[in-house]
Amino acid sequence: MSAVLQCRQLSVLAGQKKLIVPFDWQVNAGERWAVLGQNGVGKTVLLHALLGVDARCRPNIYLSGVPLSELSVQRQAQQRVWIPQRYDEPFTITVTQALRSVAPDVSIEYILNQLAVFGLRKHAQAWVHQLSGGERQRLTWAMAAVRITETTRLWLLDEPFSAQDIAWQRRLLQYLREQKHALIATVHDLNQVRAFATHVLLLADGKVLAQGGVQDVMCTARLTEAFGVALRVNDAGWVSI
């Protein structure tokens, strides 16, 4: 399979502190990875490293076979889209202007279509700060979706369902299942994993505890070790305490 992302002996750092010891990892085209672990284990910092935020990590991260250290920010942006935990807009702009700021060349019709996908069409001319928390989170989805082109190969998502009600969680999970790109998402709800992911990266105690297919990683023993509480995975794959 075609490797979209590779990590070769990547250490995840927070300042001078090593959160995750060196590990290897490969994400192939069409794979959907869930990144799991306790709070503070380094899930978000890992995503930031994959974005090239920490220059020390860039030589160990390969996007379509090329180290991030050799790719300009523009070339990286052509291959991936990013959905943060929340959208903090420091200026007063409208919802439509927010999408236009990341995709200045697309038509207004395309922008309105993407807003409709994420339930924001009626808020097209609303100020961003007037949106609810869940609506603002879905705005980050629309801002990512409007940037998708023929060169897009990877989605990076940080807790993308955290502010959503049950109905929108289901819709967004279905949306991810329909994507053909590789994607990596941090999540807290373990029962969401089977709803969208094909693979899991499980973090614990400063290391990658396990990585691989959902069926292989999402087992009682590994999840209990990773989260430090007695968890049970039943025959259908649902996780409970």
**Which class for 137: exposed (0-12), middle (13-18), buried (19 or more C-beta within 10 A)?**
buried
Q: What pLDDT score was predicted for residue 177?
A: 93
Q: What pLDDT score was predicted for residue 90?
A: 67
Q: What pLDDT score was predicted for residue 42?
A: 94
Q: What is the mean pLDDT of each run of 10 residues along the chain (241 residues)?
A: 92 90 97 97 96 95 97 94 84 92 96 98 95 95 96 96 95 94 96 95 96 95 95 85 82
Among residues 77, 73, 72, 54, which one has the least CA distance to residue 7? 54
Give dist(CA 25, CA 207) in Å, integer.
Answer: 12
Q: What pLDDT score was predicted for residue 85?
A: 85
Contact call for residues 32 and 182 (beta carbons, < 8 A): yes
pTM: 0.95
Count Cβ neighbours within 10 Å for each residue of 9-48 and write b for 16 or more, e otherwise. ebbbbeeeeebbeebebebeeebbbbbbbeeebbbbbbbb
Contact call for residues 170 and 196 (beta carbons, < 8 A): no
Give dist(CA 111, CA 54) in Å, integer.
Answer: 32
Q: What pLDDT score was predicted for residue 205?
A: 93
